[in-house]
Amino acid sequence: MKLIDVTDPLDQNTPTYPGNTAFTIEPIRRLARGDTSNVSTLHISAHAGTHVDAPRHFPDDGPGVETLALEILCGRARVIELTTRKTITPNDLAGIDLNEDVRVLLKTHNSRLWGSPEFHPDFIGVTDAGAHYLVERGVKVVGADVEPGIYEMFCLPLSVVGADGAPARVVLRRS
């Protein structure tokens, strides 16, 4: 089985939204110092790199990431190419048949920024109206930046009780 890992690896160059915690690894124990094992502490924003936003990301009383149904995060996904857009609006999405697709990945020019340590505030994103358009059509998962096509997606965020988001490992398998 060939899987495509679309996870943005976490390292010291992972772009961080202004005001969020930058990713670091702090060595706590090391074999080289005579410890019985290597152990590290990770310092990370819940929204760093490839991640899943929980409903709690905006309303304080929203459900945490641990409540997200894995059946929603895993399954058929459609990748739609929108590389000529600056923002993604309902007009950009209107001609696309989304009837069977509850997981939509949007290929934009954001992927050109991968590997750049700076946060780019001019990233291409879905407008509020575009997000409402997708929700009204039953889309449950929105992601970004992989080659167009139909895939089976496996998106597994860390199950952190009460968290407003969590890092995730996301892989695709061509359908």
Q: Annotated catalytic sites, by residue?
A: 57
Can you give the chain as a three-state secondary structure string? Answer: CCCEECCCCCCCCCCCCCCCCCCEEEEEECHHHCCCCCEEEEECCCCCCCEEECHHHCCCCCCCHHHCCHHHHEEEEEEEECCCCCEECHHHHCCCCCCCCCEEEEECHHHHHCCCCCCCCCCCEECHHHHHHHHHCCCCEEEECCCCEEEEEEEEECCCCCCCEEEEEEEEEEC
